A and B are shown apart, each in its own frame.
Chain A
Amino acid sequence: MKRRTLLGSAAALMAVSALPALAQGEKLKVGFIYVGPIGDGGWTYQHDLGRLAIEKEYGDRIETSYIESVPEGADAERALTQLALAGNKLIFATSFGFMDAVQNVAKKFPDVKFEHATGYKRADNVATYDARFYEGRAVIGTIAGLMTKSNKIGYIGSFPIPEVLQGINSAYLAAKKVNPEVEMKVVWAYSWFDPAKEADAAAALFAEGVDVFMQHTDSTAPLAKAAESGAIGFGQASDMANFKPSPRVSSIIDNWEPYYIKRVGAALDGTWKSEGVWLGIGDGEVEIGEITDAVPAEVKAKAEEVRDAIAKGELHPFTGPLKKQDGSDWLAEGETAKDEDLSAMNFYVEGITAQLPK
């Protein structure tokens, strides 16, 4: 009797443990770690739209899961390991600060493919992907330069990393081109997502006379604050359409869907390779959201002209002659910035008076 129970339970155990193995063979498990909550209405929200898009595209052939609000640092390694142990064979890590964690975990799981957003470290099983946000910044910088009455443009930065500095420099150069008087005020929040601090940062900028601002943080809090004080701003990472027509007069939208669909497809048919891609407005990865009637028609026309020129490759936001903030030469007349220079950018361009934190 006893032995029979034992045998029976052993058989049951085997059956149970065999099931997930079978399921694994059929479906590709795709995991995501997000730096903020999906409900941030910005950065992470857009990545999750990408996750939903691959679910729709591939249906039963894949299974997705995600871990949200993962802090950059040691906890990211834990979250990535957890996803790898759960059988995910393709893992997207969607924040710059996950870079070293991805490298470490990728070494331990050579048969798992990793995709790291906005980073620059690759390996055989680690690909990187990024969007040319700075192209969008040139468009909204044009609007900002034409719209400001105080000639003070504000910028809420997250961390002083290349991705953010590209945006500040690009927006400033575009604004200065249409308004030579313009001045750029920068406040660093040292967080990707902290609505209360982002709102305070916006308030600090408005107190300094800023009337048009941009942000490189993930929540909609600064726009809500702007609605209160009469300043205008732009949707960041996502359309943030709830704040139309003002204070949100336009937006930069990160559209990850085509890339995610392509990469999951490659993993499914076995053609996935480690590579680094950097796509912009022309490729549809960076989109400019509707420019509302809160800005005059000629401003809108000018912004669309910049957008279309960038999309066609006729205009590069970083075209010489350009100098760095310290007065040293960067780009000669007619020269455009090289990608490797941009992805290591650690300076402000000439004309920005704020000091870059070290």
Chain B
Amino acid sequence: MIDPLSVFLMLLGAATPILFASLGELVAERAGVLNLGVEGMMICGALAGFAAAHASGSPALGFLAAAVGGTAISLIFAGLSQYLLTNQVATGLALTLFGLGLTAMFGKPYEGTKAPSMPMGPLGLNWMIWLGLIAVPLVWWFLNRSRAGLVLRAVGENHDAAHALGYPVRRIRVLAIAFGGAMAGLGGAYISIATVLQWTEGMTAGAGWIALAIVVFSRWDPRGALAGAWLFGGVTVLQLRLQAAGVSVPVQLLSMAPYLATILVLVLISAQQKFGRSAGGAAPGSLGRPFHALR
């Protein structure tokens, strides 16, 4: 009745924006930075990307602008949290509110205009979906197999030790935040350029918060982020398709499922820690803590 392949293809599309955003946030968190401004960075990327794609007629330029836009706003967070040592939770929340307001203001002229259509890649999937899938092993390889990734993880686990070893904690964190901003920007632009095909104020509608949940669900592992993005994206697509096919589905239960899974993972992590098993899969040791060399 429902073609599973077409559901899977729709799932890949629905998962792409949250996959990009969660991969970016994952890298930032592995460096010890908790940036709750994902939603704000996504909406900035959505507008910057849409504006550039609309002006140039090229989706590729749009995504480039989205990455730049996301990075630019993430650097505000980097400056405040890394140089002025503000509280990361409060600063991240402020970044989200700021991003939503800023784009609402600058987005006015783009309301009602259309995006250029996305060129299709292999298997009828656009190339941003492919790029998202390729990014998963790349980020995993960077974190687990490269020297730079090892240093980044060291900074996230224990910034005092990393500092004592002579690593530039602050600079590494700023770079990780910037990467997170660029990825969130790409994810946001996917919504405006590929999914919705237009600019609407507040259009990310909570995708940034889902990305944050996925990072926890993934236990800070890029492979888990892919699984999480497919779970969250899959539930959305599947329940809509089932409804359209006239099947009565408990929508509330289905929508709740990924969040319940996230809570379950959190419980498992803390149970593991309590019973002294491996600390693997737990949150980075210095997550959310400000660092100052003279402290």
Contacts and interface: CB of A to CB of B under 8 A. Distances in A.
Contacts, number: 116
A334 to B, nearest CB: 32
B10 interface: yes
Interface in B255-281: 255
Contacts of A195: 191, 195-196, 198, 200, 203, 205
A81 B289 CA distance: 37
Interface stretch (A5-13, A202-210, A294-302): A202-210
B198 A224 contact: yes
A151 interface: no
A200 B240 contact: yes
B223 interface: no
A219 interface: yes
A69 interface: yes
Interface in B183-205: 191, 195-198, 200-205
B236 A200 contact: yes
B interface, size bucket: 35 or more
Interface string A215-235: 000011100110110000000
A194 B197 CA distance: 14
Given A193-B205, A354-B246, A199 B195 contact: yes
B244 A154 contact: yes
Contact of B104 (A39, A154, A185): A39
A200 B243 contact: no
Interface stretch (B67-75, B84-92, B108-116, B166-174): B108-116
B197 A201 contact: no
Contact of A200 (B3, B195, B248): B195
A347 to B, nearest CB: 15
B196 A199 contact: yes
A330 interface: no
A207 B241 contact: yes
Contact of A208 (B17, B113, B117, B245): B245
A19 B10 CA distance: 59
A41 B197 contact: no
Contacts of B243: 186-188, 204, 354
Contacts of B111: 39, 41
* Size bracket of the A interface: 35 or more
Interface in A320-355: 353-355
Nearest to A356: B248
A221 B10 contact: no
Nearest to A220: B198
B237 A228 contact: no
B40 to A, nearest CB: 14
A196 B191 contact: yes
Contacts of B17: 196
Interface string B21-49: 00000000000000000000000000000
Contact of B202 (A37, A187, A228, A355): A37
B255 A190 contact: yes
A118 B252 CA distance: 24
B201 A196 contact: no
A205 B242 CA distance: 10
Contacts of A194: 205-206
B184 to A, nearest CB: 15
Interface of A: 36-41, 69, 154, 185-188, 190-191, 193-197, 199-201, 203-205, 207-208, 210, 219-221, 224-225, 227-228, 242, 353-355, 357
11 contacts: A36-B202, A41-B112, A187-B244, A195-B196, A196-B205, A197-B236, A199-B197, A201-B244, A204-B237, A204-B244, A220-B198
Given A188-B243, A195-B200, A196-B204, 12 more contacts: A37-B201, A39-B107, A41-B111, A190-B252, A196-B14, A196-B191, A200-B14, A200-B237, A204-B244, A207-B3, A207-B244, A221-B203
